[in-house]
Structure 1
Amino acid sequence: MTPTARLSEIYFAKRDVLLRYLTRLCGDEASAEDVLQDLYLRLMRGGIEGEIEEPLAFLFRMANNLWLNRRRTLTRRDAREEAWQALNPQMTGEADAAPDAEAVVGGRQALRAVLNDIDALPPRTRDIFRMHKLEGLSQTEVARRLEISISSVEKHLSSALKHLLALNRSRRLN
């Protein structure tokens, strides 16, 4: 009798024992049945050479290894899924959740503070900043509209950003 035929014979004789063992490992009978099916398919593929001194122990070891492989695969899949959901909350429906009232009030206060800071800029700098950052015009378009050089637009934007960053830093320190 070949080693594969011998293992298949023992597999069918001890299938219930293997199923109970795997059910305990997997936590449910359906998963245990899946692992047991994988074990049977491995046996049917053959390729087992040589004399096996303890065929039942060999089957238990194969079943345990198949269960471990399955568990690793599921753990990796779950980790990938969690990472994907963390990076793409809009795909999970979390993005549709309304923020709490405190977050809304805080956001409105922060927006109001930023708009007040922009209004406090010198008029020409404020206009350039609004056109570029809020209206989305390119620096070239701003320069063309105001009939000034691109270099002048860049200087005004730099000045505005420095001013706004300084105000933001001082606010955080207070």
Structure 2
Amino acid sequence: MTHPARLTETYFAKRDVLLRYLTRLCGDEASAEDVLQDLYLRLMRGGIDGDIQEPLAFLFRMANNLWLNRRRALSRREAREDAWQGLNPQMTGEADASPDAEARLGARQTLRAVLKDIDALPPRTRDIFRLHKLEGLSQTEVARRLDISLSSVEKHLSSALKHLLALNRSRRLN
């Protein structure tokens, strides 16, 4: 049976091999280092029980799973960003630089409606949404500022965007 200390020893002994593997998966060394750091933190937290016959294979599997989790989170984040930009093209720089008076009036009305919709969100969700989307803080910065997990920030943002998209769809139908 492999003891958690043995896993840590294997991690340090084979760190360069794990880094090469993750660099190939991630496409760049900086991302690979991030995943490797996550792996190390998981090992330090402990909670790994059971009989591990092949510690290196176990570490490769953990590294691969962490990389997959990062890819999934990035895909979800990009989908949310695309949805937000689709709702607000004026914030992405795609809007005409000199709109006419009618377009400006329509944009102001839309902005008022969106701000009203944001105000209607639950307080915590509204705060997280405003910090990230309106004040420009990264999700990590929002998590640190509010002393919550990154996962919690992502869930609140997802909930807010779903709510705002549903309101936008219903407005279009009316």
Give the structure-1-normalised TM-score: 0.54
Name the SS of the counterpart of 2:52 in structure 1: coil
Runs of 5+ consecutive residues of structure 2 not aligned to the other structure:
100-174
Residue 5 of structure 2 is matched in structure 1 by 5
- 1:97 & 1:74 partners in 2: Cα distance? 31
- 2:94 & 2:81 partners in 1: Cα distance? 14
Residue 30 of structure 1 is matched in structure 2 by 30
Cα-to-partner distance string for 1:74-124 (whole Å, 9 max, x where unaligned): 01101110111011001111113469xxxxxxxxxxxxxxxxxxxxxxxxx
Runs of 5+ consecutive residues of structure 1 not aligned to the other structure:
100-174
- 2:27 & 2:42 partners in 1: Cα distance? 22
1:50 Cα deviation after fit: 2.2
Using CA pairs under 8 Å that are at least 6 residues apart, name the structure with larger relative contact order, 1 or 2: 2
- 1:29 & 1:98 partners in 2: Cα distance? 43
1:49 Cα deviation after fit: 1.3
Look at both structures and tell me which one has the larger radius of gyration over its CA atoms.
1
Give the letter for the 2:68 counterpart.
L
Which range moved further: 5-14 or 84-93? Answer: 84-93
Residue 55 of structure 2 is matched in structure 1 by 55
1:51 Cα deviation after fit: 1.9
Give the letter for the 1:57 counterpart.
A
1:56 Cα deviation after fit: 0.4
Cα-to-partner distance string for 1:40-90 (whole Å, 9 max, x where unaligned): 000000011122011100000000000000000001101110111011001
Residue 18 of structure 1 is matched in structure 2 by 18
Give the letter for the 2:76 counterpart.
R
RMSD of Structure 2 on Structure 1 (CA): 1.9
Which range moved further: 11-20 or 79-88? Answer: 79-88
The equivalences for 1:18-97 within 5 A come to 18-97=18-97
Cα-to-partner distance string for 1:101-154 (whole Å, 9 max, x where unaligned): xxxxxxxxxxxxxxxxxxxxxxxxxxxxxxxxxxxxxxxxxxxxxxxxxxxxxx
Which range moved further: 46-55 or 19-28? Answer: 46-55
1:2 Cα deviation after fit: 6.3
Change (3 A) 1:57 1:2: closer
Q: How many residues align?
A: 100
- 1:2 & 1:52 partners in 2: Cα distance? 5
- 2:33 & 2:15 partners in 1: Cα distance? 10
Give the letter for the 2:21 counterpart.
Y
Name the SS of the counterpart of 2:95 in structure 1: helix
Give the structure-2-normalised TM-score: 0.54
